[in-house]
Structure 1
Amino acid sequence: MSDQTTPQDPTTQHPQPKQPADDLEPPGLTGEMSQEPDHGEETYVGSGRLEGKRALITGGDSGIGRAVAIAFAREGADVAISYLPEEEEDAQTTRRWIEEAGRKAVLLPGDIRDEAFCQQLVEDAVAGLGGLDILVNNAAYQMSQDEGLRGITTEQLDRVLKTNVYAMFWITKAALDHLGKGGSIINTTSVQAFEPSPQLLDYATTKAAILNFTKGLAQQLAEEGIRVNAVAPGPIWTPLIPATMPEEKVEQFGADTPLGRAGQPAELAPVYVFFASQESSYVTGDRLGVTGGRPL
């Protein structure tokens, strides 16, 4: 759980707009951000809720994935992370935090748009961890388009769909041979599944698909004792934001939420821990929003 020794005002406990609109090349590196996100490095305190578990997190090098990796490790899990080769610097930082928690870290670089890599990813994670208990399908790609549908090229659509949806199918399918009773699959959907932004039409479409995949798969796997749930973040401050959105959107990112600011990755990690742990043993096919007050 997070350290909550003193009361905090949720509207002011993290930075508010205006965020710096750094000029980052996609997918963006944390170290290139002038305002780095909070992943819970100094605040997340574990309590053994995932002791002895083995988890694979896609997109685990930075942002939400890094926060989840840190939380899982501090809760007692060994963690494998997948990431693009160009994100190696971020991945090594995540490795350090996992190992400082006394847990094993397995780094698996590659492009999840490739089906063969997705299959190998799971096999390598299982080999490195000695098994698999938790799968977090978190990796995603977006690119804002002010021209709307007219600005979405087939190349962009292909990248968004393969990263966000195809890879989830491929990786999950491969993981089913290793997840046993008590296993947990957690998918990252989005407030965009419920409230699509016009400039993120293709991304929002994939996030709606992830939500339906979660609901349907949960029914398929219930009799096998495997639970499937989703986390629906609102606007969360990660390297992907300045790397894929126009300057004016970055500066005001999160300002339209009731809490008036973007969320930090550290604020999502406890939700993933909940879905991965025994505390959610009677929860499957559901979703939990972390949106700063925006309704789902």
Structure 2
Amino acid sequence: MQLPNSFDFFNDIDRMTKLLSQFAQSKIAQAYLFIGSKHSFLNDFVRQLIGNILCGSELKSCGKCKSCRMYADAAHPDISYITLEENSNSIKIDEIRNLQIDVFQTPQCGKYRMIVINPAERLNMQAANALLKILEEPPEHTVFVLVADCLNNLPLTIISRCRRYFFNDHVEIDSYIELAKDYPNSEERASLFAAKDNIIARLNDVVVDELSFASVANEWTDYKIENIIWFLYLITAEAIKYLLLPDNKYDANFIKFANSQNIAKLYNQIDLLNAYIGKSQKNIVLNQTLALEKILLGYVSC
């Protein structure tokens, strides 16, 4: 069965069930690449798809067999997860080298071993090259599942060896800032949304010179650089929208910040933030404090 390579994905259980049944009727590939943001319900889909493959049922995992029970308890012996180590912004070659033993082991509970790499776009060059060698001649019993926010940093040689699916996130929101609200509570981006009032207050403090760039930048080093920059991008985009289309739905804290800016300055900030986001996606190591100080300076300078 031929599947589409792009899905418009909403918070719709019936639609997810339908897509999973379509996958069940198609031949299992050696490598999948799923591309979409974390709030496109892609991760929910991937989790269920892995459960279905491990169970071996026709349409969905039964939830009762030994394989399903171990998967539900996060104790399945036939799954290996590769993700970012703590305080690291890239997946390194040692993690892929350690994987090589798992790849060729015979499955213990069923027909397949699953190798899940998420976020795949965070593979550094050496790790990507090591993975490519495995994908060139993978054992028949191993299924690779790569999950990525974007394709910017994935080599074409890896992309071409995967069956690719794009998940489009048409999320209905009242503001750009609300994009962070739909992330799982375990994600730092959800924490940023919870702290949005404090973050906007700190921007106001910097603008009126109540706090220094250095003190605020140092406070924000508790966040991963790619996440705080992404959240500042949302705030900046929302401020542009407010200046173009004023609306009384905003609180006084945000209005104070937006009115302290002008559109030209904010567009310059968007360019700067995009530049840093691009560097982060390419796994370029950033000096977080200096980067944040430069960003904060942009909200003050004329």
- Whether the TM-score (by the shorter chain) exceeds 0.5 is no
Structure-1-length-normalised TM-score: 0.32
Structure-2-length-normalised TM-score: 0.32
Which of the pair is proportionally richer in helix?
2
State the structure with bigger RCO (CA 8 A, min sep 6), 1 or 2. Answer: 1
Q: Which has the larger radius of gyration?
A: 2
